[in-house]
Structure 1
Amino acid sequence: MPPTSAPTRLTDRKRVAILDAAVAEFRASGYEATSMDRIAASAGVSKRTVYNHFPSKEALFVRILEDMMSHGGDELDVPYRPDAPLRPQLMTLVQRKLQLLRDPQFTDLARVAIAAGLHHPALAREMIESLDQREEGLTTWIRAAAADGRLRAPDPAFAAMQLHALVKGFAFWPQIAMGQPPLTAAGQDTVASAAVDMFLAYYG
Protein backbone atom coordinates (compact mmCIF):
# COMPACT_ATOMS: atom_id res chain seq x y z
CA MET A 1 0.00 0.00 0.00
CA PRO A 2 1.25 3.56 -0.60
CA PRO A 3 2.79 5.22 2.45
CA THR A 4 0.45 7.41 4.48
CA SER A 5 0.64 9.27 7.78
CA ALA A 6 0.11 7.01 10.77
CA PRO A 7 -3.56 6.92 11.84
CA THR A 8 -4.29 7.90 15.43
CA ARG A 9 -7.67 6.26 16.10
CA LEU A 10 -7.67 2.58 17.04
CA THR A 11 -10.29 1.72 14.44
CA ASP A 12 -8.21 3.42 11.75
CA ARG A 13 -5.07 1.58 12.85
CA LYS A 14 -6.95 -1.70 12.65
CA ARG A 15 -8.19 -0.86 9.17
CA VAL A 16 -4.64 -0.14 8.00
CA ALA A 17 -3.42 -3.38 9.59
CA ILE A 18 -6.15 -5.32 7.78
CA LEU A 19 -5.28 -3.75 4.43
CA ASP A 20 -1.56 -4.38 4.90
CA ALA A 21 -2.18 -7.98 5.95
CA ALA A 22 -4.54 -8.55 3.03
CA VAL A 23 -1.98 -7.22 0.53
CA ALA A 24 0.65 -9.58 1.92
CA GLU A 25 -1.72 -12.58 1.90
CA PHE A 26 -3.02 -11.92 -1.62
CA ARG A 27 0.52 -11.48 -2.94
CA ALA A 28 1.78 -14.64 -1.24
CA SER A 29 -1.17 -16.99 -1.75
CA GLY A 30 -3.40 -15.59 -4.49
CA TYR A 31 -7.07 -14.69 -4.33
CA GLU A 32 -8.65 -18.13 -4.02
CA ALA A 33 -6.35 -19.40 -1.25
CA THR A 34 -6.62 -16.25 0.85
CA SER A 35 -9.37 -16.29 3.45
CA MET A 36 -10.74 -13.67 5.80
CA ASP A 37 -9.56 -15.91 8.66
CA ARG A 38 -5.97 -15.75 7.42
CA ILE A 39 -6.18 -12.00 6.93
CA ALA A 40 -7.56 -11.53 10.44
CA ALA A 41 -4.82 -13.68 11.96
CA SER A 42 -2.12 -11.86 10.04
CA ALA A 43 -3.53 -8.46 11.04
CA GLY A 44 -3.84 -9.48 14.68
CA VAL A 45 -7.56 -8.74 14.84
CA SER A 46 -10.72 -10.81 15.05
CA LYS A 47 -12.54 -11.96 11.93
CA ARG A 48 -15.53 -9.95 13.10
CA THR A 49 -13.36 -6.82 13.04
CA VAL A 50 -12.35 -7.58 9.46
CA TYR A 51 -16.00 -7.92 8.45
CA ASN A 52 -16.87 -4.71 10.29
CA HIS A 53 -14.54 -2.88 7.90
CA PHE A 54 -15.08 -4.94 4.76
CA PRO A 55 -18.26 -6.94 4.09
CA SER A 56 -16.52 -9.55 1.91
CA LYS A 57 -13.17 -10.72 0.58
CA GLU A 58 -14.15 -9.32 -2.81
CA ALA A 59 -14.87 -5.88 -1.33
CA LEU A 60 -11.54 -5.94 0.50
CA PHE A 61 -9.65 -6.89 -2.65
CA VAL A 62 -11.39 -4.22 -4.73
CA ARG A 63 -10.50 -1.63 -2.07
CA ILE A 64 -6.83 -2.63 -2.29
CA LEU A 65 -6.90 -2.29 -6.07
CA GLU A 66 -8.65 1.07 -5.86
CA ASP A 67 -6.03 2.37 -3.41
CA MET A 68 -3.26 1.09 -5.65
CA MET A 69 -4.79 2.63 -8.78
CA SER A 70 -5.50 5.88 -6.96
CA HIS A 71 -1.86 6.11 -5.93
CA GLY A 72 -0.77 5.56 -9.53
CA GLY A 73 -3.52 7.77 -10.94
CA ASP A 74 -2.34 10.74 -8.89
CA GLU A 75 1.04 10.44 -10.58
CA LEU A 76 -0.63 10.54 -14.01
CA ASP A 77 -2.53 13.77 -13.33
CA VAL A 78 -0.20 16.05 -15.28
CA PRO A 79 -2.04 19.15 -16.54
CA TYR A 80 -1.74 20.04 -20.20
CA ARG A 81 0.44 23.09 -20.82
CA PRO A 82 -0.32 25.03 -24.00
CA ASP A 83 2.98 26.93 -23.72
CA ALA A 84 5.19 23.82 -23.65
CA PRO A 85 6.22 21.32 -26.38
CA LEU A 86 4.03 18.23 -26.55
CA ARG A 87 6.75 15.57 -26.51
CA PRO A 88 8.27 16.39 -23.08
CA GLN A 89 4.79 16.55 -21.56
CA LEU A 90 3.85 13.16 -22.97
CA MET A 91 7.20 11.69 -21.95
CA THR A 92 6.53 12.72 -18.35
CA LEU A 93 3.13 11.01 -18.42
CA VAL A 94 4.48 7.81 -19.97
CA GLN A 95 7.53 7.64 -17.71
CA ARG A 96 5.34 7.98 -14.62
CA LYS A 97 3.14 5.18 -15.94
CA LEU A 98 6.23 3.02 -16.44
CA GLN A 99 7.35 3.68 -12.87
CA LEU A 100 4.01 2.40 -11.58
CA LEU A 101 4.18 -0.70 -13.80
CA ARG A 102 7.66 -1.46 -12.43
CA ASP A 103 6.42 -1.58 -8.81
CA PRO A 104 6.64 -5.25 -7.67
CA GLN A 105 3.56 -4.88 -5.48
CA PHE A 106 1.56 -3.52 -8.41
CA THR A 107 2.70 -6.40 -10.62
CA ASP A 108 1.94 -9.06 -8.02
CA LEU A 109 -1.53 -7.73 -7.26
CA ALA A 110 -2.30 -7.26 -10.96
CA ARG A 111 -1.41 -10.91 -11.54
CA VAL A 112 -3.65 -11.96 -8.63
CA ALA A 113 -6.45 -9.73 -9.92
CA ILE A 114 -6.33 -11.17 -13.43
CA ALA A 115 -6.38 -14.74 -12.13
CA ALA A 116 -9.26 -13.94 -9.78
CA GLY A 117 -11.19 -12.19 -12.52
CA LEU A 118 -11.25 -15.36 -14.61
CA HIS A 119 -13.38 -17.07 -11.95
CA HIS A 120 -15.30 -14.04 -10.69
CA PRO A 121 -16.82 -12.00 -13.58
CA ALA A 122 -18.30 -9.38 -11.25
CA LEU A 123 -14.89 -8.78 -9.71
CA ALA A 124 -13.33 -8.51 -13.16
CA ARG A 125 -15.87 -5.85 -14.17
CA GLU A 126 -15.13 -3.81 -11.05
CA MET A 127 -11.40 -4.03 -11.70
CA ILE A 128 -11.77 -2.88 -15.30
CA GLU A 129 -13.99 0.03 -14.29
CA SER A 130 -11.49 1.06 -11.61
CA LEU A 131 -8.59 0.86 -14.05
CA ASP A 132 -10.46 2.92 -16.65
CA GLN A 133 -11.15 5.64 -14.10
CA ARG A 134 -7.54 5.78 -12.92
CA GLU A 135 -6.18 6.12 -16.44
CA GLU A 136 -8.41 9.11 -17.16
CA GLY A 137 -5.47 11.51 -16.60
CA LEU A 138 -3.95 10.75 -19.99
CA THR A 139 -7.34 11.07 -21.71
CA THR A 140 -7.83 14.48 -20.08
CA TRP A 141 -4.42 15.61 -21.30
CA ILE A 142 -5.09 14.43 -24.86
CA ARG A 143 -8.53 16.06 -24.86
CA ALA A 144 -7.00 19.39 -23.81
CA ALA A 145 -4.25 19.19 -26.44
CA ALA A 146 -6.82 18.36 -29.12
CA ALA A 147 -9.07 21.24 -28.07
CA ASP A 148 -6.02 23.50 -28.37
CA GLY A 149 -5.57 22.34 -31.96
CA ARG A 150 -2.21 20.65 -31.30
CA LEU A 151 -3.41 17.06 -31.67
CA ARG A 152 -5.77 15.52 -34.22
CA ALA A 153 -7.59 13.20 -31.84
CA PRO A 154 -11.37 13.17 -32.37
CA ASP A 155 -11.70 10.38 -29.79
CA PRO A 156 -9.31 11.16 -26.89
CA ALA A 157 -10.28 8.03 -24.91
CA PHE A 158 -9.45 5.79 -27.87
CA ALA A 159 -6.17 7.62 -28.46
CA ALA A 160 -5.23 7.23 -24.79
CA MET A 161 -6.04 3.53 -24.93
CA GLN A 162 -3.70 3.16 -27.90
CA LEU A 163 -0.84 4.84 -26.05
CA HIS A 164 -1.45 2.71 -22.95
CA ALA A 165 -1.37 -0.38 -25.17
CA LEU A 166 1.97 0.62 -26.67
CA VAL A 167 3.43 0.90 -23.18
CA LYS A 168 1.81 -2.14 -21.60
CA GLY A 169 2.77 -4.35 -24.53
CA PHE A 170 6.37 -4.10 -23.31
CA ALA A 171 6.15 -3.13 -19.65
CA PHE A 172 3.11 -4.98 -18.28
CA TRP A 173 1.75 -7.94 -20.21
CA PRO A 174 5.08 -9.76 -20.74
CA GLN A 175 5.78 -9.50 -17.01
CA ILE A 176 2.26 -10.55 -16.00
CA ALA A 177 1.64 -13.30 -18.52
CA MET A 178 5.12 -14.68 -19.20
CA GLY A 179 7.08 -13.86 -16.06
CA GLN A 180 9.59 -11.64 -17.83
CA PRO A 181 11.67 -9.34 -15.61
CA PRO A 182 10.74 -5.66 -15.29
CA LEU A 183 12.26 -3.35 -17.85
CA THR A 184 15.59 -1.79 -17.01
CA ALA A 185 15.86 1.99 -16.81
CA ALA A 186 17.30 1.97 -20.34
CA GLY A 187 14.47 -0.28 -21.52
CA GLN A 188 11.90 2.07 -20.03
CA ASP A 189 13.45 5.02 -21.83
CA THR A 190 13.39 3.11 -25.12
CA VAL A 191 9.74 2.11 -24.73
CA ALA A 192 8.69 5.60 -23.64
CA SER A 193 10.48 7.33 -26.51
CA ALA A 194 9.18 4.93 -29.16
CA ALA A 195 5.59 5.03 -27.85
CA VAL A 196 5.49 8.82 -27.67
CA ASP A 197 7.08 9.24 -31.10
CA MET A 198 4.65 6.79 -32.69
CA PHE A 199 1.71 8.51 -31.00
CA LEU A 200 2.76 12.00 -32.09
CA ALA A 201 3.56 10.81 -35.62
CA TYR A 202 -0.06 9.76 -36.01
CA TYR A 203 -1.95 12.31 -33.90
CA GLY A 204 0.44 15.27 -33.97
Structure 2
Amino acid sequence: MKLTDKKRKDILEAAIQEFREQGFPAARVNRIAELAEVSKRTLYKHFESKELLFQAITDILLEEIAAMPKLRYQPDVPLREQLIGAAQDYIGHLTGEQYMGLNRLVMSELLRDQDLAQAFFAKAAMQDGPISGLIGEAMRAGALREAEPGFAAGQLLSMVKHFLVWPQFLMGAKAEVDPDAVISDCVDMFLAHYGPES
Protein backbone atom coordinates (compact mmCIF):
# COMPACT_ATOMS: atom_id res chain seq x y z
CA MET A 1 0.00 0.00 0.00
CA LYS A 2 1.33 3.44 -0.95
CA LEU A 3 2.00 5.90 1.86
CA THR A 4 -0.71 8.29 0.60
CA ASP A 5 -3.24 5.41 0.51
CA LYS A 6 -2.25 4.38 4.03
CA LYS A 7 -2.68 7.96 5.29
CA ARG A 8 -6.10 8.19 3.65
CA LYS A 9 -7.11 4.88 5.27
CA ASP A 10 -5.81 6.06 8.67
CA ILE A 11 -7.76 9.32 8.34
CA LEU A 12 -10.97 7.46 7.48
CA GLU A 13 -10.55 5.08 10.43
CA ALA A 14 -9.86 8.01 12.76
CA ALA A 15 -12.90 9.88 11.42
CA ILE A 16 -15.11 6.84 11.97
CA GLN A 17 -13.89 6.65 15.57
CA GLU A 18 -14.38 10.38 16.19
CA PHE A 19 -17.82 10.47 14.55
CA ARG A 20 -18.91 7.43 16.59
CA GLU A 21 -17.72 8.94 19.85
CA GLN A 22 -18.79 12.56 19.33
CA GLY A 23 -21.42 12.49 16.59
CA PHE A 24 -20.87 14.33 13.33
CA PRO A 25 -21.74 17.90 14.49
CA ALA A 26 -19.41 17.75 17.52
CA ALA A 27 -16.58 15.86 15.81
CA ARG A 28 -13.38 17.93 15.54
CA VAL A 29 -11.01 17.85 12.59
CA ASN A 30 -8.06 18.48 14.94
CA ARG A 31 -8.95 15.33 16.88
CA ILE A 32 -9.31 13.27 13.67
CA ALA A 33 -5.85 14.41 12.52
CA GLU A 34 -4.44 13.57 15.95
CA LEU A 35 -5.99 10.08 15.96
CA ALA A 36 -4.73 9.45 12.41
CA GLU A 37 -1.28 10.76 13.37
CA VAL A 38 -1.23 13.20 10.46
CA SER A 39 -1.12 16.98 10.24
CA LYS A 40 -4.30 18.96 9.59
CA ARG A 41 -2.72 20.00 6.31
CA THR A 42 -2.37 16.34 5.27
CA LEU A 43 -5.95 15.64 6.30
CA TYR A 44 -7.24 18.55 4.21
CA LYS A 45 -5.13 17.40 1.28
CA HIS A 46 -7.14 14.16 1.27
CA PHE A 47 -10.50 15.61 2.37
CA GLU A 48 -11.26 19.32 1.92
CA SER A 49 -13.96 19.37 4.61
CA LYS A 50 -15.52 17.35 7.39
CA GLU A 51 -18.57 16.91 5.13
CA LEU A 52 -16.48 15.34 2.35
CA LEU A 53 -14.85 13.08 4.92
CA PHE A 54 -18.29 11.93 6.04
CA GLN A 55 -19.32 11.41 2.42
CA ALA A 56 -16.30 9.14 1.96
CA ILE A 57 -17.52 7.10 4.94
CA THR A 58 -20.99 6.75 3.41
CA ASP A 59 -19.27 5.53 0.23
CA ILE A 60 -17.51 2.84 2.29
CA LEU A 61 -20.90 1.66 3.54
CA LEU A 62 -22.25 1.50 -0.02
CA GLU A 63 -19.12 -0.34 -1.17
CA GLU A 64 -19.68 -2.90 1.60
CA ILE A 65 -23.12 -3.63 0.16
CA ALA A 66 -21.85 -3.62 -3.43
CA ALA A 67 -19.08 -6.07 -2.51
CA MET A 68 -21.60 -8.76 -1.64
CA PRO A 69 -21.56 -11.43 -4.35
CA LYS A 70 -24.38 -11.18 -6.87
CA LEU A 71 -26.34 -14.41 -6.87
CA ARG A 72 -27.44 -16.30 -9.97
CA TYR A 73 -30.57 -18.41 -10.21
CA GLN A 74 -29.78 -22.12 -10.43
CA PRO A 75 -32.63 -24.01 -12.14
CA ASP A 76 -31.43 -27.36 -10.74
CA VAL A 77 -31.62 -26.18 -7.08
CA PRO A 78 -34.99 -25.57 -5.36
CA LEU A 79 -35.71 -21.83 -5.38
CA ARG A 80 -36.80 -21.88 -1.74
CA GLU A 81 -33.37 -23.24 -0.76
CA GLN A 82 -31.63 -20.56 -2.83
CA LEU A 83 -33.67 -17.75 -1.30
CA ILE A 84 -33.12 -19.00 2.25
CA GLY A 85 -29.35 -19.24 1.69
CA ALA A 86 -29.26 -15.79 0.08
CA ALA A 87 -31.23 -14.20 2.94
CA GLN A 88 -29.01 -15.89 5.55
CA ASP A 89 -25.85 -14.59 3.87
CA TYR A 90 -27.29 -11.09 3.52
CA ILE A 91 -28.43 -10.88 7.14
CA GLY A 92 -25.09 -12.28 8.31
CA HIS A 93 -23.38 -9.45 6.44
CA LEU A 94 -25.70 -6.73 7.76
CA THR A 95 -25.36 -7.86 11.37
CA GLY A 96 -21.56 -8.18 11.28
CA GLU A 97 -19.89 -5.95 13.85
CA GLN A 98 -17.98 -3.81 11.31
CA TYR A 99 -20.99 -3.19 9.07
CA MET A 100 -23.42 -2.62 11.93
CA GLY A 101 -21.20 0.00 13.57
CA LEU A 102 -20.66 1.83 10.29
CA ASN A 103 -24.37 1.67 9.48
CA ARG A 104 -25.32 3.17 12.87
CA LEU A 105 -22.83 5.99 12.37
CA VAL A 106 -24.07 6.85 8.88
CA MET A 107 -27.79 6.49 9.60
CA SER A 108 -27.65 8.70 12.69
CA GLU A 109 -26.27 11.54 10.57
CA LEU A 110 -28.65 10.90 7.67
CA LEU A 111 -31.56 11.33 10.09
CA ARG A 112 -30.18 14.76 11.00
CA ASP A 113 -29.35 15.97 7.47
CA GLN A 114 -31.94 15.37 4.76
CA ASP A 115 -29.67 16.60 1.96
CA LEU A 116 -27.07 14.02 2.88
CA ALA A 117 -29.80 11.40 3.18
CA GLN A 118 -31.14 12.16 -0.30
CA ALA A 119 -27.66 11.96 -1.82
CA PHE A 120 -26.94 8.69 -0.01
CA PHE A 121 -30.19 6.98 -1.01
CA ALA A 122 -29.86 8.20 -4.60
CA LYS A 123 -26.47 6.45 -4.77
CA ALA A 124 -27.85 3.37 -3.02
CA ALA A 125 -30.75 3.15 -5.49
CA MET A 126 -28.26 2.82 -8.36
CA GLN A 127 -26.90 -0.40 -6.89
CA ASP A 128 -28.32 -3.76 -7.79
CA GLY A 129 -28.92 -5.65 -4.55
CA PRO A 130 -27.42 -9.11 -4.10
CA ILE A 131 -30.80 -10.86 -4.13
CA SER A 132 -32.69 -8.89 -6.78
CA GLY A 133 -30.61 -10.47 -9.57
CA LEU A 134 -31.48 -13.97 -8.33
CA ILE A 135 -35.16 -13.05 -8.11
CA GLY A 136 -35.13 -11.43 -11.56
CA GLU A 137 -33.58 -14.51 -13.15
CA ALA A 138 -36.08 -16.77 -11.37
CA MET A 139 -38.91 -14.61 -12.76
CA ARG A 140 -37.55 -14.82 -16.30
CA ALA A 141 -37.23 -18.59 -15.93
CA GLY A 142 -40.87 -18.88 -14.84
CA ALA A 143 -40.04 -19.99 -11.28
CA LEU A 144 -41.68 -16.79 -9.97
CA ARG A 145 -44.42 -14.69 -11.48
CA GLU A 146 -43.31 -11.55 -13.32
CA ALA A 147 -42.87 -8.39 -11.24
CA GLU A 148 -40.22 -5.74 -10.64
CA PRO A 149 -37.30 -7.75 -9.14
CA GLY A 150 -35.91 -4.93 -6.99
CA PHE A 151 -39.31 -4.26 -5.45
CA ALA A 152 -39.90 -7.97 -4.78
CA ALA A 153 -36.44 -8.35 -3.22
CA GLY A 154 -37.15 -5.29 -1.05
CA GLN A 155 -40.35 -6.89 0.21
CA LEU A 156 -38.58 -10.12 1.17
CA LEU A 157 -35.62 -8.41 2.82
CA SER A 158 -37.82 -5.90 4.68
CA MET A 159 -39.67 -8.76 6.34
CA VAL A 160 -36.44 -10.47 7.35
CA LYS A 161 -34.72 -7.27 8.53
CA HIS A 162 -37.71 -6.38 10.72
CA PHE A 163 -36.92 -9.35 12.95
CA LEU A 164 -33.18 -9.90 12.50
CA VAL A 165 -31.54 -6.53 11.81
CA TRP A 166 -33.54 -3.66 13.31
CA PRO A 167 -33.62 -4.95 16.92
CA GLN A 168 -29.83 -5.28 16.86
CA PHE A 169 -29.38 -1.95 15.06
CA LEU A 170 -31.63 0.02 17.41
CA MET A 171 -31.17 -1.76 20.74
CA GLY A 172 -27.81 -3.50 20.38
CA ALA A 173 -29.31 -6.91 21.09
CA LYS A 174 -30.51 -9.69 18.85
CA ALA A 175 -34.23 -10.41 18.96
CA GLU A 176 -35.15 -13.57 20.83
CA VAL A 177 -36.23 -15.48 17.76
CA ASP A 178 -34.81 -18.38 15.79
CA PRO A 179 -33.21 -16.65 12.78
CA ASP A 180 -33.47 -19.73 10.55
CA ALA A 181 -37.17 -20.12 11.34
CA VAL A 182 -37.80 -16.40 10.67
CA ILE A 183 -36.03 -16.55 7.31
CA SER A 184 -37.85 -19.74 6.32
CA ASP A 185 -41.23 -18.22 7.22
CA CYS A 186 -40.48 -15.01 5.31
CA VAL A 187 -39.33 -16.94 2.24
CA ASP A 188 -42.49 -19.07 2.40
CA MET A 189 -44.68 -15.95 2.53
CA PHE A 190 -42.71 -14.46 -0.35
CA LEU A 191 -43.15 -17.63 -2.43
CA ALA A 192 -46.85 -17.80 -1.59
CA HIS A 193 -47.22 -14.33 -3.10
CA TYR A 194 -44.76 -14.56 -6.00
CA GLY A 195 -45.06 -18.25 -6.86
CA PRO A 196 -45.81 -18.88 -10.55
CA GLU A 197 -49.47 -18.54 -11.39
CA SER A 198 -51.13 -21.78 -12.34
TM-score range, shorter-chain basis? Answer: 0.7 to 0.9
Is 1:189 the counterpart of 2:175 in the alignment? no
- Pairing 1:4-83 to 2, within 5 Å after superposition: 7=1, 9-83=2-76
Structure 1 residue 42, shift from structure 2 partner: 0.5
Structure 1 residue 53, shift from structure 2 partner: 1.5
Query: What is the aligned-residue RMSD (CA, Å)?
Result: 2.1
| Offset from partner CA, 1:127-156 (integer Å, 9 cap, x none) | 223433445222222111111111113111
Deviates more, 1:86-95 or 1:121-130: 121-130
- 1:166 aligns with 159
Residues 62 and 124 in structure 2, CA contact (< 8 A), matched pair in contact too: yes
TM-score (norm. length: structure 1): 0.84
- 1:89 aligns with 82
Q: What is the alpha-carbon distance in structure 2 between the residues aligned to residue 72 and residue 37 of structure 1?
A: 31
Q: What is the alpha-carbon distance in structure 2 between the residues aligned to residue 74 and residue 112 of structure 1?
A: 19
The letter for the 2-side match of 1:182 is K
Instruction: Give the paired residue count.
Output: 195
- 1:4 aligns with none
| Offset from partner CA, 1:21-66 (integer Å, 9 cap, x none) | 1222222222222222221111001122222212322322232232
Structure 1 residue 172, shift from structure 2 partner: 2.4
Structure 1 residue 77, shift from structure 2 partner: 1.4
TM-score (norm. length: structure 2): 0.87
| Offset from partner CA, 1:93-152 (integer Å, 9 cap, x none) | 111111122123322332232221232112111222343344522222211111111111
- 2:98 aligns with 105
- 2:115 aligns with 122
Residues 151 and 203 in structure 1, CA contact (< 8 A), matched pair in contact too: yes
Q: What is the alpha-carbon distance in structure 2 between the residues aligned to residue 95 and residue 18 of structure 1?
A: 33
Q: 2:193 aligns with which of 191, 194, 202?
A: 202
The letter for the 2-side match of 1:181 is A
The structure richer in helix per residue is: 1
Q: What is the alpha-carbon distance in structure 1 between the residues aligned to residue 128 and residue 24 of structure 2?
A: 24
The letter for the 1-side match of 2:56 is R
Q: What is the alpha-carbon distance in structure 2 between the residues aligned to residue 159 and residue 38 of structure 1?
A: 44
Residues 23 and 64 in structure 1, CA contact (< 8 A), matched pair in contact too: yes
Give the percent of matched residue pairs that are identical in Structure 1 and Structure 2: 39
Cα 1:141–1:16 change in 2 (3 A) is same
| Offset from partner CA, 1:76-99 (integer Å, 9 cap, x none) | 412222232111211221111111
Q: Indicate the structure (1 or 2) with the bigger Cα radius of gyration.
A: 2
SS across alignment from 1:140: helix
